[in-house]
Each structure stands twice: as structure tokens, then as C-alpha cells.
Structure 1
Amino acid sequence: MLNSGVWHRRILNVYWTLAGIILAGQILSVRLHLKLAHEFAVSDVSRTLIVICYVVVLCCLITGEVWLRAKLKYQQQAVVVCGFIVSYLLYFIAEPFVDGAQMSLMMPLMASLIYFNRRLLFVIGGLNSLIYAAIYFMLERGLLGKALLDFLLMEVIFGGFVVMGLGIIVRSRETSEYLEQLTQSEQGLLVDRAIADKLLKIDALTGLYNHKTFHEYLDTLLEQCETNGLRLQLALLDIDNFKQVNDTYGHWIGDIVLKEVAAKISEKISLNDFAARYGGEEFAIIFTDKSPAEAFTLVEELRLAIASMEHHYAGDKPITISIGLCSYYTRSGKELLFRKTDDALYLAKRSGKNQVIICEEKKPA
């Protein structure tokens, strides 16, 4: 049960509190010579029995405390048994002086409701009816002269409480099942929404982010560059002679090449970097919080890794990429960053391919 240890502690605290209240009430009654429903005149034997009851109550509560603090097994059963014994002892103590003391016998039933334990509710309800019947016919009817109607009324109350408690337990389980179904439904909606959101952001073929998401992310990072001085480099990558691959081996081989290149890009970049399929055979990488030299080292390693990949399905011919790399400077703007990076990529393609070209390091005036 959720937080069962907390509820064990709370229930035991209630027993301690009730025992303390009844003891304090009796001490106060003796001192002030008050009358509580009867003349407060008890024999020495009665006083001895009351003292014995209090000693047993104290021992029972201490046993419950030790059981909980030692974290022994069957703590729920220990708390219920302790409460059952304490409730009957408190009933014996209060019954000669307080009308309606039978209500203390309801405590174990209420504990079974706190635990939402149907079996415990039936067991406690049955024991209450049997033990109270024995007490009435053996003690109360002869010694206290209680009417049979009082006994029958208490038995009806015990039975009615069990029936109502059963309804509460059943209703709580129905509510729990409903909440569980509702939670599962909400989780399903969240998963569906997450999948839909991912499909909107991810390129279906390569698994990298798509063109739209790339620009959204870049706009956000450029704002950070302007306000917080974030360092940023943009790399544009293009697969060399990709049209020839498609024309020679077919578009499905071209798709395999795109997937393998994308996988190598994902493998090489760090968690702080962002890669996307920019369009066709072109990819884009945003490097954040890196120096230009670090960004160059990463793209150069990526270029060499892709060039060394084997492609048996494409005649074992190497697949290479050309890369343009450019750093962003504050107040230069997104358009200038793209133009310079694209010019560097174009120069890499025109001057032999399979190389990295860094754009001109020209800061805005």
C-alpha cells in the first residue's frame, strides 16, 4: 500500500492519544469529584482492574511501537491487533462512567477502511459482533443491567458499519480503476502527441532533424549569441557526385547512402551540437560553445570517417563529402552567415571536392 508506513504511524498515534485522553479524564474526575453518567464511586477491586487495563494498554502500545520501529514483517496486522486489544480495554475502562463507550470498538473497523482491506473489514466486524455479544451476556446484562435493546442496537450498528465500509472499499477501488484508466489514456495521448511532434521535426529517411526544425533551432541559438555571447559555427555538408550514385545504382541505393552518412554525422557530433538534413543530399550542423578550431577538427574527422566507409552495394566506390564551415559574429545576421557558409561549400565543391573550406574570417563593422 502506498505510504503504508505513514498510516501505521498515524493509527498508532491515534491509539496513544485516545488512551491519554481517557486517562486524563479519569484523573481529572477523581480530583474534582465529578459524576460521569453514574456516581463516580468505584470499589478497590474496580480500581485495581482499571489500573491493570491501563498497564495492558501501555504494554500493547509499546509493543506496537517496537514492532514499527524495528520494521518487522506484518506491520499492518500488528497495528490492527494492537488497536483491537486497546479498543476493548479502553471500552472496559470507560464503560462504567461514560455512556456510548461502545464507540471505541469501532476503531479497528475504521482502521480496516484506512487500509481499504475488505477481508480485514469482515474479520474485524465478525469478531466485534461475537466478542461484544459475549461481553454483554456475561458481564453487562447482569452487572450493569443493560437492556437487550441496547445490545441489539450495537450489533446493528456493527453490521451497518461493515456494510457501509464494504461500499466505501468497493467505491474506492472503482475510483482507483477509473483514475488508472484515465492516467493510461492521458499517457497514451502524450505518447501520440510526442510521436506526432517527432514526426513533424524529424526527417523520415535519415532520422536527423528536418529543414524547418533546423531553422527554428538556429533562430533560437542566434538570439543567444546576440544576448549571451554564445559561440556558434555553422557547417553545410554536401555529398559529392550524389546524382551519379542515383543514376548508376538507383534511388534506393542513394537512400542507403543518405542514411549511412546521416548515421555517421550523428555518431561524430556531441550532445550540444545539432544536425539536420537540409535538403536532398545536403546536411547542416550547428556547433555550439566551441572554438573555430574545435569545430574544424570535428568536421574534418567527419569528412575522413565518411570517406573511409565501405559501400559494397555501390561498387565499393568511396562516398565523399564537401564541407563549408563558418563562425557567427554578433550583429552579422542569419542571412550573412548562410551566404558565407554556402560560398565556402561552393568553393569546396569547385576546387576538388572531399575537403573542408572555412569561410573568410571577416567580422562585421
Structure 2
Amino acid sequence: MKGFHTHNSHIPTEYEFKHSKWIQKMLHAYWVVIIAHFAIQIGCFLFLEYDRTPIDFLMNVLFWPTAVSSSCILFASWVDRRFSSYSFYTMSIASTVIAWTIIHVNYDIRIILAICLLPIFASVLFFSKKRVWIVFLMQMTGYLLVLFDPAYRLYLSSFDMVSIPAFLILGTYVAQVIVTSGVEVLDDLQASMLAKQDLIVRNAIMTKQSKTDGLTNLYNQSSFKDYYEKAFEYANSGMSLHLALIDIDDFKSINDTYGHRVGDIILEKVSLIIQETITSSDIAARYGGEEFALLMFEQSFKQAYALVEQIRQKIALMGHLELEGASITVSIGLKSYSPNLTKDKLFEEVDACLYAAKRTGKNKTVTSLDLTSSLAEKI
């Protein structure tokens, strides 16, 4: 459509986020270096003998070095926000300028040369040999540039001219060793984490296998008993609970006529219908052989009855090629929890409902209300 433009906004990855975070921390550290250098210089000028005039000190020791260093950090911070893929290089350039500016201002203090190692060791945080070498080349470039100052060059001896590059090479070698060791540690840690994740997955699979029936993928009898006990405890505290037992009619004749493999297929199909019909809060299990148990929560008895009837009707309407197009049926017993029942008594009464469904014609759902009405008619 005209007048509308779509833009693919880049969502930073976790690595990019951490990379930017490290850059920001290093830039903050360089601010500390600049401020510390500024404060130390003022202290030295006020309390120690200083061979510079006040104007020379203010301009060449305080103002210009601080202004150049601060500008580099501000530029590096801007690049990190706008062009994060280049932030490492601008940060490294900024740290190189800061280091050699401080060295140039304080060239009469020999130990100050150690500050040129700061950018090299900062590059170790990114675990890249290539980046370490890039920063090394920046330090060598900074060293060569300050040699253009005759005063600094005059201060250096022949030994200094050789030892400074050697010092940088040695520092870079140490940084490379640290990077190599760090990468190995990270690889070992990643391998350990992957092994731990694999173990967790295997344990989860084993736990699931121990709780579910291998053929139907429903809970097994042992798991059902555990859930049934917990469900009964919840029911005692006021939660609705309905128990249903579902049994495939004439299943033995299916096995005898078509074989156990076909019988297994029928069990899988019935279990699939049960899984597709029940709600997410219900629990279904293969209780044994061709019998299934169903726990239903958070619904009325009328809703529970409608649900098991839906299961029964779906099964009855399905034809099976394995049975030469014939269909199968199931009988169901259903009863709700009541405070006067124990969990064993509830199960026995549902089993009695299932037996009544089998005895009175099969392919039906019998509830405790049906049994009560039948008993009253006999009386």
C-alpha cells in the first residue's frame, strides 16, 4: 500500500546484549581513569614540585589530554548506541588514545607505560584472539605516533625503544594465553551444561515412561492410583470430582478373531478418542487390559455425564478397517464423589455401575442414579 513502509526492526540477541553491556562497563572504567588522572595531576601540581608554568599545566596537562580522552569516550558511547557492531573497535581506539595520552603527558614516569596494557587485557573479555591482536596493533600505532614528539623521543634510550614493543608483545602473549584458557573453560562448561540438559531430558523421559502406558500413552494404573488418592483429598476439601470406568465391549473376541495386534490398534484408537474429548484438567489412564479410568474435575455431574456419553458415541460411530469396517462399543460406569464415601467405596460403586452397563446390554453409560432407580423398581 502506498504511503506505508514496513521496517524490519532488529531484535538484539542475548550475546549482543551482553557485548554492549561489557562495552558500557569498560567505557565507565575509562571515565574513572580520566577522572583519576585529572585529580592526581592537580594534586601533584599543588603539593609537589612541578616544572611547568600554571598556563602550560592547565592547557597541556589538564585541558587538552582530558578533552581528547573524553571526546573519544563520548564518540565510542555514541557508536555503541547507534552502530553496536563497531563498538568494540571504537572502544579500543578510545582506550588506546587515553593510554598513550596519559603516557605522553607523564613520560618521565617510567611505570606509567604499564597503562598501555589496559586496552590489551580489556580485549580479553571478548574471548577473541583476533581482537587481542587488533588491540596490540593499535598500541603499537599509538607508540609510533608519540615517537613523533621530539621531547618524548629524546627521553627514550635505545633500550627503551626496543623494550617497549617487547613489553607490548609479551603482554599480548599473556592475553592470548588467557583467551585460550578461557575458551577452553567455556567449552568445558558448555559441554557440562549440555550433558546436564541431556540428563534432565533423559530423566524426564524416564519419569514419563514410568507414569504412562507404553501402548496408549495414557497414565498407567500405578500413576492413576496416585492421582486418584490426591484427587480424593481435594474432593474432601470441597472440589468436585467424578470417576468413570470405561470398558471395551467384547474385546476378547476381537483378540481371538483378529489377533492381538489388531486389539492393540483398537486400544490406541479408543485412548486417542478419550484424550481428544476430555478437558485439560481431567486425568485419563489405562487401568488394565481393555479398561480405562477417568477422573473429571471442575464440572457438574451433568457435564461429566455428557462428556463420557460423547466418548461412548464417538467410539460407537467409528468404523475400523482392521475389523472389516465393523465398529466397537464401550460400556461406562460413572459416579460423583460424596462426603460419605471412601475412595475404595467410590471405586467399587463405579465398578458396579460398569458391571450393570455390561449386564444390561452394553454400549451404554450407567450411573449411580440409574442403579438406585433400578433397585427402587425391584422393591
Both proteins in one fold, TM over 0.5? yes
What is the one-letter code of the residue matched to 1:24? A
Matched, 1:132 2:143: yes
What is the one-letter code of the residue matched to 2:169? G
Q: With the length of structure 1 as denominator, give the TM-score of the two structures.
A: 0.90
In structure 2, C-alpha distance between the alignment counterparts of 1:255 and 1:59, rounded to whole Å: 77
Equivalent residue in structure 2 for 1:210, among 193, 217, 220: 220
Percent identity, aligned pairs only?
30
Equivalent residue in structure 1 for 2:25, among 3, 7, 10: 10
In structure 2, C-alpha distance between the alignment counterparts of 1:6 and 1:149, rounded to whole Å: 40
Contact 1:125-1:158 within 8 A present in 2 as well: yes
Matched, 1:189 2:204: no
Structure 2 residue aligned with 1:266: 275
Structure 2 residue aligned with 1:34: 48
Cα shift at 1:69: 3.0
What is the one-letter code of the residue matched to 1:11? M
Q: Give unmatched runs, 5+ long, in structure 2.
A: 1-14, 373-379
Change in Cα spacing, 1:124 to 1:72, as seen in structure 2 (3 Å) is: closer
What is the one-letter code of the residue matched to 1:244? S
Matched, 1:121 2:135: no
What is the one-letter code of the residue matched to 1:34? L
Equivalent residue in structure 1 for 2:247, among 234, 238, 242: 238
What is the one-letter code of the residue matched to 2:238? G
Secondary structure of the corresponding residue to residue 74 of structure 1: helix
Contact 1:344-1:358 within 8 A present in 2 as well: yes
Contact 2:79-2:86 within 8 A present in 1 as well: no
Secondary structure of the corresponding residue to residue 204 of structure 1: coil
Structure 1 residue aligned with 2:357: 348
What is the one-letter code of the residue matched to 1:162? T
Equivalent residue in structure 2 for 1:62, among 42, 66, 74: 74
Secondary structure of the corresponding residue to residue 285 of structure 1: strand
Kindly tell me the number of residue pairs found equivalent between the two proteins: 355
Equivalent residue in structure 1 for 2:65, among 46, 53, 57: 53
Contact 2:30-2:95 within 8 A present in 1 as well: yes
Change in Cα spacing, 1:142 to 1:320, as seen in structure 2 (3 Å) is: closer
Equivalent residue in structure 1 for 2:296, among 281, 287, 292: 287
Equivalent residue in structure 1 for 2:190, among 176, 180, 191: 180
In structure 2, C-alpha distance between the alignment counterparts of 1:219 and 1:299, rounded to whole Å: 21
Cα shift at 1:46: 6.3
In structure 2, C-alpha distance between the alignment counterparts of 1:260 and 1:154, rounded to whole Å: 80
Matched, 1:339 2:351: no
Change in Cα spacing, 1:142 to 1:172, as seen in structure 2 (3 Å) is: closer
Cα shift at 1:142: 4.9
Matched, 1:79 2:122: no
Secondary structure of the corresponding residue to residue 218 of structure 2: coil
Greater shift in the superposed pair: 350-359 or 68-77: 68-77
Greater shift in the superposed pair: 209-218 or 187-196: 187-196
In structure 2, C-alpha distance between the alignment counterparts of 1:149 and 1:220, rounded to whole Å: 83
Contact 1:22-1:94 within 8 A present in 2 as well: no
1:30-82 CA-to-partner distances (Å, cap 9, x unmatched) read 3x2423xxx34248556533333322222212212222233544111221122
Greater shift in the superposed pair: 259-268 or 185-194: 185-194
RMSD of the TM alignment (CA)? 2.3
Q: With the length of structure 2 as denominator, give the TM-score of the two structures.
A: 0.86
Q: Give unmatched runs, 5+ long, in structure 1.
A: none
What is the one-letter code of the residue matched to 1:304? Q
In structure 1, C-alpha distance between the alignment counterparts of 2:21 and 2:340, rounded to whole Å: 60
Cα shift at 1:293: 1.1
Equivalent residue in structure 1 for 2:118, among 85, 104, 107: 107
What is the one-letter code of the residue matched to 1:54? T
Change in Cα spacing, 1:293 to 1:322, as seen in structure 2 (3 Å) is: same
Contact 1:117-1:169 within 8 A present in 2 as well: yes
Secondary structure of the corresponding residue to residue 344 of structure 1: helix
Structure 2 residue aligned with 1:19: 34
Cα shift at 1:115: 1.4
In structure 1, C-alpha distance between the alignment counterparts of 2:283 and 2:208, rounded to whole Å: 15
Change in Cα spacing, 1:282 to 1:117, as seen in structure 2 (3 Å) is: same
In structure 2, C-alpha distance between the alignment counterparts of 1:183 and 1:318, rounded to whole Å: 51
Change in Cα spacing, 1:5 to 1:21, as seen in structure 2 (3 Å) is: same
In structure 1, C-alpha distance between the alignment counterparts of 2:180 and 2:101, rounded to whole Å: 31
Contact 1:61-1:82 within 8 A present in 2 as well: yes
Change in Cα spacing, 1:178 to 1:72, as seen in structure 2 (3 Å) is: closer
Cα shift at 1:104: 2.1
Cα shift at 1:101: 1.7
What is the correspondence of 1:138-157 to structure 2 with a 5 Å cutoff? 139=150, 142-143=153-154, 145-157=155-167
In structure 1, C-alpha distance between the alignment counterparts of 2:350 and 2:209, rounded to whole Å: 28
